[in-house]
Chain A
């Protein structure tokens, strides 16, 4: 060892600190308000522009304004599932407790986004397609995603030992990952009622007017910070609940009596 630890070493130490519940609880407490701040800074102008400034669509009229919540939540429903499986895999392989906690705490947030995507999609479908619900591949696979989230949560609840429960639920998340490409490519692989992707990440330009696209991208960015904030918040709560009879919550409280959190 040299006298001055290298940056790599420092990063490693910093990373390992996150493994400590006390450190996680305290540090995330400082970070969460900033995440909320970023979320609002992006979401408020995004929704304002989307609802009150962007023009109506030439064909759909105003009902398309629902996409400012539908598209971000549909994306988040898939992104959170992927992250949940990733946290779960880390938890299962390295047995890192914080990773297991984050995987479990992701599930309800992802389920909420999936529910929003389904509800808003249905409310958009009625004026656009003329129906609230049809069993086409896109809608059915998104519904399966909701059931997978519910399955992950139920499996976690059904096992008493929390760490074992978290790892079992993570395994289901890993298996459920198969559904993500099906959701994404369903509109290309099969004939569906649902249209193709408006915003294409891989090829070509997006088929949306800039004045409509900018608010959408703002809300999409805001939803990421929302997830981060709620994830940390939930994880703090779960750690505190599991460790309430351990020493660190009391030490934390003694060390900082003025802290209202």
Chain B
């Protein structure tokens, strides 16, 4: 490589390194603002004031979902394994809302562990499975997330239901 080219190469590489460093520092400083949601543990440790709007994210605790079909009022517990916060929401839940499934609720705390949501989004995970496989896992004793819709209450899977 000729000296000119070498000089240019180093110039551009050091420019790139400089910009990377600057961006890394900026991101480190802004870390908290880049969080899209707070987990229940974050809520407890950061002592978020009630009334302040934020997004709460976590898993819907199994067996805690209650729905009132007349008023569309739903309540459930959001957990991250350590802390749990009770969420109330009036409105239509996303299709993928399910027990054990991730959710992100936008709203505010009314007390230390009581959250009223204006908006609920389902958070999907990166697993893609055929229904038959999910049924097989269920039968083998591994609980997988189950959709709960108003029209059909959760039923125990029988071998017949996977044959179709």
Contact = CB atoms under 8 A, between A and B. Distances in A.
B110 to A, nearest CB: 23
Interface string A125-169: 001111100111100000000000000000000000000000000
Nearest to B144: A58
Contacts of B31: 190
Interface string A90-126: 0011100000000000000000000000000000000
A6 interface: no
B104 to A, nearest CB: 6
A25 B101 CA distance: 54
B43 interface: no
A108 B17 CA distance: 26
B15 A175 contact: yes
A64 interface: yes
Contact of A207 (B8, B23, B127, B147): B127
B36 A92 contact: no
Nearest to A55: B130
B92 to A, nearest CB: 8
Contacts of A207: 125-128
B34 A56 contact: no
Contact of A57 (B9, B35, B130, B135): B130
Contact of A191 (B12, B35, B101, B135): B35
Contacts of A59: 96, 98, 101, 124, 129, 134, 145, 147
B123 interface: yes
B48 interface: no
Interface in B98-119: 98, 101, 104
Contacts of B16: 174-175, 177-178
A55 B121 contact: no
Interface residues of A, number: 42
B43 to A, nearest CB: 12
Interface string A194-211: 011110000000011101
Contacts of B104: 193
Nearest to A88: B12
B116 to A, nearest CB: 18
Contacts of B8: 92-93
Contact of B121 (A56, A94, A130): A130
A130 B130 contact: no
Nearest to B31: A190
Given A129-B94, A131-B121, 7 more contacts: A55-B131, A59-B96, A129-B122, A191-B36, A195-B124, A195-B126, A209-B133
18 contacts: A57-B129, A58-B129, A59-B124, A60-B96, A92-B12, A129-B122, A130-B93, A136-B36, A137-B36, A174-B12, A178-B20, A191-B36, A191-B39, A195-B126, A198-B127, A208-B128, A209-B130, A212-B130
Interface of A: 55-61, 64, 67, 89, 92-94, 127-131, 134-137, 171, 174-175, 177-178, 182, 189-193, 195-198, 207-209, 211-212
Interface of B: 5, 8-9, 12, 15-16, 19-20, 23, 27, 31, 34-39, 57, 93-96, 98, 101, 104, 120-135, 144-145, 147
Nearest 4 Cβ contacts at the A-B interface? A130-B94, A58-B134, A55-B130, A136-B36
